[in-house]
Structure 1
Amino acid sequence: MAPYHIRKYQDQDREAVMDVFIKGILHHIPSAFFHLLRQPRSFLVLLGGTGALFLGSGSLLLSLLALSGLLVFLWLLARYPFKFYVDHALHTDMKDIKKSYLSDRGSCFWVAESEGQVVGTVCACPAQEALRGKKCMELLHLSVRAEYRGQGIAKSLIQTLLQFAQDQGYDAVVVNALCFNYPAQRVYEKMGFWKSHVAYDSLKWRVVAIPFFYYKYTVPSSL
């Protein structure tokens, strides 16, 4: 296992951070596609549609072509919300990381560095929605390069963020995870996060039948 350390983001990290961020989001697309295929409505479209076409036309080739076209359509449908998320982030908070996360003492952006390269990221900012008047922080953009996963880097990044939350006087930390992102769910739960509810983040995610698990962490008092 290669040694690593956690530090704050610097300007020279931008290219590597963008690479980790984008690949970290887009690697979920195959899982999203197979998740979508398992939905009853997808079975209905794939099997019902092609079966009806075969019965109506009697052409197996035409039915197979239609099936291939429907699979491509479902792949693009599953891919859309992830591409949208990346494009939106690159034009908003990730466009200027220093301005978004390092210009206010209540926010921060960290990277994990190993052998001179950035291999992981996480950031924090005040949560948009308060929890019963409590001061809440949101955990965002947690990602680790594929070849460095399983080494405890995600856990170290989260521990750094939780210590920051305590130092800044936050009462709670909130985060969400894709319903099929089991590694992230296990890490959060092992570190004391608890699942508060399940919901669709927006209509885009509802269309592809991908809800999010929402987690909360109660920050211990520093007193």
Structure 2
Amino acid sequence: MQQETETETSMAPYHVRRYQDHDWEPVRELFSKGMLGNIPSEFWTSLKKPRTFLVLLGVPFALFLGSGSLILCLLSLFGLLACQWLTLRRFVKQYVENSLNTDLLDIQKSYVGFWVAECKHQVVGIVGAHPPLRPVGGGNYLELLHLSVKRNYRGKGLARTLVQTLLHFAQDQGCDGVVLETSNSNHPARRLYESLGFQKAHESGYHLNWWLGYFSTWHYKCDFSSQK
């Protein structure tokens, strides 16, 4: 079932429709820029991790005590920060490259549903759905993937409309619900999902290196039966 939505924003009207083949390049570009644009917020969040904080303070301080050189202390701090930034950036770029070469290489084949938000003939938002890679409690669920909105169109309701479109599609298909995974530091996304009935199911993470620890992600689930 193809669901289309037109909504007015304070900037311009936008139109949510099903993905078409001519959207391939703008969809991939929007996804890539959105993921890479999230690196600064992920970086600052990583600084608050206890292990990272301890290393960032402890190593320069130990060097200062051992050498008495403030310059060496500062250089080591900047070096650790640079290492942290490059490690996180490499991790995100690897995820982007993997997605571009797998599910986003043939979008029509990879997804049971993929939608774009269009404004002034430009793709400004995307979201996709396909069956989860791992079973979810024996139920029939869809997984939400790659929700992204261009930066200057955020806060206008596009992301909410895209998620609602996917939820309506899943209900029409007789699914039991929708699951998704998002970064722990992506507070706007988490607030959006929770306001639409998603609940945190569990938390996981990806190892970056011994002192950066986990790239923490939250797994959410929206059960349609609990909303009746």
TM-score, normalised by the number of residues in structure 2: 0.88
Greater displacement, 24-33 / 211-220: 211-220
| Corresponding residue number in structure 2 for 1:127 | 132
The letter for the 2-side match of 1:203 is: H
The answer to whether the 8 Å contact 2:60/2:73 transfers is yes
Identity percentage of aligned residues: 51
Question: Which of residues 22, 46, 55 in structure 2 aligns to 1:45?
Answer: 55
Question: Which of residues 125, 130, 148 in structure 1 aligns to 2:153?
Answer: 148
In 2, the alpha carbon distance for the partners of 1:112 and 1:161 equals: 12
Question: Which of residues 95, 102, 108 in structure 2 aligns to 1:92?
Answer: 102
| Superposed CA offset, 1:53-108 (max 9, x none) | 1222222222221211111001112223211110110111111212212xxxxx11
The answer to whether the 8 Å contact 2:51/2:213 transfers is no
The answer to whether the 8 Å contact 2:88/2:208 transfers is no
Alignment of 1:142-181 (within 5 A): 142-181=147-186
Greater displacement, 208-217 / 183-192: 208-217
Alignment of 1:21-100 (within 5 A): 21-100=31-110
Question: Which of residues 26, 49, 66 in structure 2 aligns to 1:16?
Answer: 26
The answer to whether the 8 Å contact 2:126/2:146 transfers is yes
* Alpha-carbon spacing, 1:169–1:205, altered in 2? closer, same or farther (3 Å): farther
The letter for the 2-side match of 1:131 is: V
The letter for the 2-side match of 1:216 is: K
The answer to whether the 8 Å contact 1:174/1:215 transfers is yes
The answer to whether the 8 Å contact 1:36/1:78 transfers is no
Matched residue of 1:94: which SS? coil
TM-score, normalised by the number of residues in structure 1: 0.90
In 1, the alpha carbon distance for the partners of 2:61 and 2:177 equals: 52
In 1, the alpha carbon distance for the partners of 2:189 and 2:20 equals: 26
| Corresponding residue number in structure 2 for 1:104 | none
The answer to whether the 8 Å contact 1:77/1:208 transfers is no
| 1:203 pairs with 2:207 | yes
Q: CA RMSD in A?
A: 1.8
